[in-house]
Amino acid sequence: MLKIEGVSYTLPDDVPLFQNFSMTVNNGEILGLSGKSGIGKTTLAKIIAGYLRADHGQINVQQMKGKSHSVQLIWQHPEQAVNPKWRIDKTLEEAGVPDQSIIKKLNILPEWLYRYPKQLSGGELQRVCIARCLLAQPEFIIADEITTMLDPISQAEIFKILTEHVQQNKIGLVIISHDTVLLDNLCHKVIDFK
């Protein structure tokens, strides 16, 4: 179980972004997080995944030395989440030994592995980032607007793969999206982040 209790974050100009936010995500649960742009959903995701430190509050995640973080964040913009100087094979190996079944499931073509991020489209690179996340074997995943750059058919395919994987492996999934129809269709519950 992932527990976020009373988490607050203040912007550098001393303006509170959000205060005393709490939520719980169970293993195998798919939870949606919706809300207007700019209210702190991505910042909250970065805090939970260990990229930022909250001002107050607690998250029951401990980083184990030498292991991948138990909460993995899939970023909205995949080009910002990869090293541009690494080939795709090295990007995937960063998470561990590549599991061919995951790579095939996400339709990552063998020739992509020898390319650099700038040689893939945004949608192709996002598939690589999702694969890297799954290869890290997290307990929880935060998917932050991960399909905004994809066409509707690819969006449906990606979420089908992701939701099946998390349910089979009892991984908690938080989907951040403005698309309330998507959240209503995929999630066990939806939180309006106000």
Residue 63 has pLDDT above 80, yes or no: no
pLDDT in tens, 140-180: 999 999 988 778 888 888 999 999 999 999 999 999 998 88
Distance, CA of 64 to CA of 62 (rounded, Å): 6
Q: What is the mean pLDDT of residues 56-83?
A: 85
In this prediction, residue 134 carries a pLDDT of 94
Instruction: State how many domains the chain has.
Output: 1
**CA 137 to the chain's CA centroid:** 13
**For residue 50, which of 2, 90, 95 has the smallest C-alpha distance?**
2
* Host domain of residue 52: 2-192
**For residue 160, which of 130, 138, 120, 124 has the smallest C-alpha distance?**
130
Note if the pTM is more than 0.75. Answer: yes
Distance, CA of 157 to CA of 76 (rounded, Å): 17
**For residue 76, which of 104, 53, 43, 105 has the smallest C-alpha distance?**
43
**For residue 108, which of 161, 163, 182, 69 has the smallest C-alpha distance?**
161
* β-bridge partners, 34: 192
What is the SS3 assignment for 173?
A: strand
CB 27 within 8 A of CB 171: yes
Residue 64 has pLDDT above 70, yes or no: no
Distance, CA of 160 to CA of 106 (rounded, Å): 10
pLDDT in tens, 100-150: 999 999 999 999 999 999 999 988 999 999 999 999 999 999 999 998 877
pLDDT in tens, 18-43: 999 999 999 999 999 998 888 899 99
DSSP type of residue 144: E
CATH number, domain containing residue 130: 3.40.50.300
DSSP type of residue 113: G
What is the SS3 assignment for 140?
A: strand
CB 186 within 8 A of CB 141: no
CB 138 within 8 A of CB 118: no
